[in-house]
Structure 1
Amino acid sequence: METLQAKNFNLKSTIESGQLFRYSSGSDGSYRVVAGDSIVNLRQEGDKLEFESSNDFDVESFLGLRHSYSGIVKSIRKDEKIAAAIKSHHGLRILEQGLWECTASFICSSFSNIPRIRRCIENIATAFGEPIGFEGLSAFSFPQPHQISSFQRLEKCGLGYRAKYLFETAMIFASGSGEFSQRNLRSLSYADAKEKFMELPGVGSKVADCILLFSCGFYEAFPVDVWVKRAMLGSYGMEINAFAAGRKPNERIIAGFARSYFGKYAGYAQQFIYHNSRTSGKLPSALVT
């Protein structure tokens, strides 16, 4: 095991906050994450993070440990409500995931729940990925876009109507044009990057924001589904209604309010609000962002 200093980091809150689906936990507080073609074992003791991986995996980058955490938290701590959520889950980080795997995962997430999403993603990996092993552990890599070569096999992975969207998106990514590379997307504004993602089959506003937040470094992205909408209206209903200026507060207006109120790290606020609502019993624990 290698060791990293991990001040202001909460492994449990980060892994279990709905950003990631391919993980398992141990009774000792450890986690096994499968990301791309890597198996990563993680365990936290105070400010120390122990880890080992099957290949040269950048744990610091993946877990968001290079983020200026104190400054981020200070910038979004606007009131007692968000301050309480931050206190409950201090150390929660935004992950930096691989773009294709994150895109595919959140296409699978549309109108679903976490247990089903996890099953679908594992089915896809088993059907199209490569066997990988590490320290007696075995798994399948998440397939590259070109490896998802059979729509009939994909249909058997339990995605339902999402199979068509994922297959078509895989073909777009596999074309090699580069327009959906992280490098290209990060050169765009948030609005332009979101518009680009919403051109993909099966990618609406919420899914696009999840991808931009969890894999592209657009921390102003604020994914809103029915559950985040409920949590936001419960905590900031008066402020959102004032921001809406007579319009009905829909998902777009709530996200706009959040970016205006919390600023350029609104996505961090979203994760604190969402995860705190789930773990406090205000939202069903199986739901996804």
Structure 2
Amino acid sequence: MTWYKLMCNCQELQLIGTLNGGQSFRWTHNKDTDEWLGVFSKTVWKLRQKEDYLHYEVIGSLLNDTPKIGTKRKNGVAKVDSEDLYKKLLQDYFRLDVNLSEYYKEWSEKDELFRSVCKQFYGIRMLNQEPVENLFSFICSQNNHISRISSLVEKLCTHYGEVICEYEGITYHAFPEAEKLSQPQVESELRKLGFGYRAKFIQKSAAAIVDAGGENWFAALKEMKYKEARAELMKLQGIGPKVADCICLMSLGHLSALPVDTHVYQIAAQHYLPHLRGKKSVTEKMYVEIGDHFRALYGDYTGWAHTVLFCADLKKFQNGTETASTKSKKKC
């Protein structure tokens, strides 16, 4: 296998904060080599950062309609290089068309708290995920911690997803299509696998998505206004305001969406909306107030900006070896 590289200054992309901050659940970090192994777009990837480049290996892929890197036509004219395809997938996944430094500067000028944390938590990018995987992953996330969410997501892939490849003794699967999860027997199968009440939500939501048009339905949600798309998502079983906002933000391009969980509430109450302190739960009215406050502060990229504050609030990035600054600045 061969390492390829994509020009990307490490100030523009920090892998540890982006891949380990609760957005996606299919990435693992090898601390010895400082490499990341993960799956998206029916492809198994290995990533690492060095200086001004993102280095990547394609371990395996189901994108078989593309030529292998370096192959040529018989007449000597080079085919479309599959390296271009994988590079484009990475650029889209990390939204590398967005000049993040400019936004960090803008957000810092608007917000003192952001200005105080952004130097350590630089390069935190909002992943552009596939809607099917994003939606069902966040149904799994309800009342759960990250390690168990990751376990449930992998069970979905292992039992219903296509095999991509085997690597170092592990078989990797693509995330299943909604059609696979929509079959009536899926609910009982998932209950046996430990999904609990989420089993019903997954099967019923998958069936509703298929009936609504599948990929075409998701494409329509991307074209809708944020609040309209959010309302459509909340018609699915098991999707409330927070999960709907996660999907809007992470896979539908509605970057002003703000999922309000305990972390977001605590940040808001402590630093921005002191009258909300001491509340036992986030009411619908509080949810709207918090979201609207930050949208007024940050604008169209509210969800992205707040993801930086969210990472700064996570305990695993505080006072430990796995902090954004200690892991990434060594490579800059």
Q: How does 1:1-289 map to 2 (within 5 A)?
A: 1-7=3-9, 8-26=12-30, 27-53=32-58, 54-55=60-61, 56-57=85-86, 58-77=89-108, 78-133=110-165, 136=168, 138-148=171-181, 149=183, 150-175=186-211, 177-178=213-214, 181-238=217-274, 250-278=286-314, 279-281=316-318
Q: 1:256 to 1:28 in 2, by over 3 A?
A: same
Partner-residue secondary structure (3-state), 1:24: strand
Amino acid at match of 1:81: L
Q: 1:141 to 1:59 in 2, by over 3 A?
A: same
CA-CA distance at 1:195 after TM superposition: 0.8
Partner-residue secondary structure (3-state), 1:139: strand
RMSD of the alignment, in Å?
Answer: 2.3
Amino acid at match of 1:113: H
Deviation by residue 1:213-239 (Cα, 9 ceiling, x = unmatched): 111111101110122101221121349
Partner-residue secondary structure (3-state), 1:200: coil
**CA–CA distance in structure 1, aligned partners of residues 276 and 99 of structure 2:** 28
Structure 1: which 4+ aligned runs deviate by more than 6 Å?
none
Amino acid at match of 2:172: A
**CA–CA distance in structure 1, aligned partners of residues 167 and 6 of structure 2:** 20
Task: Tell me if structure 2 keeps the 8 A contact 1:240–1:257.
Answer: no
**CA–CA distance in structure 2, aligned partners of residues 90 and 266 of structure 1:** 16
Q: 1:42 to 1:13 in 2, by over 3 A?
A: same
Task: Report how many aligned residue pairs link the two structures.
Answer: 278
Deviation by residue 1:56-104 (Cα, 9 ceiling, x = unmatched): 5411111121213123223322222111222111011000000100000
Which sections of structure 2, spanning at least 5 residues, go unmatched?
62-84, 278-282, 323-332
Task: Tell me if structure 2 keeps the 8 A contact 1:96–1:215.
Answer: yes
Computing the radius of gyration over CA atoms, which structure comes out larger, 1 or 2? 2
Deviation by residue 1:2-23 (Cα, 9 ceiling, x = unmatched): 1001121111111011101011
**CA–CA distance in structure 2, aligned partners of residues 132 and 206 of structure 1:** 32
**CA–CA distance in structure 1, aligned partners of residues 284 and 46 of structure 2:** 46
**CA–CA distance in structure 2, aligned partners of residues 158 and 229 of structure 1:** 30
Q: 1:196 to 1:47 in 2, by over 3 A?
A: same
Amino acid at match of 1:30: E
Q: 1:102 to 1:180 in 2, by over 3 A?
A: farther
Q: 1:159 to 1:36 in 2, by over 3 A?
A: farther
**CA–CA distance in structure 1, aligned partners of residues 35 and 318 of structure 2:** 24
Q: 1:83 to 1:69 in 2, by over 3 A?
A: same
Partner-residue secondary structure (3-state), 2:6: strand
Most deviating of 82-91 and 170-179: 170-179
Q: Which residue of 1 aligns with 2:330?
A: none
> Normalized against structure 1, the TM-score is what?
0.89
**CA–CA distance in structure 2, aligned partners of residues 84 and 180 of structure 1:** 42
**CA–CA distance in structure 1, aligned partners of residues 284 and 234 of structure 2:** 23
Amino acid at match of 1:141: A
Deviation by residue 1:16-70 (Cα, 9 ceiling, x = unmatched): 1110101111122110111242111111112210012223541111112121312
> Normalized against structure 2, the TM-score is what?
0.78
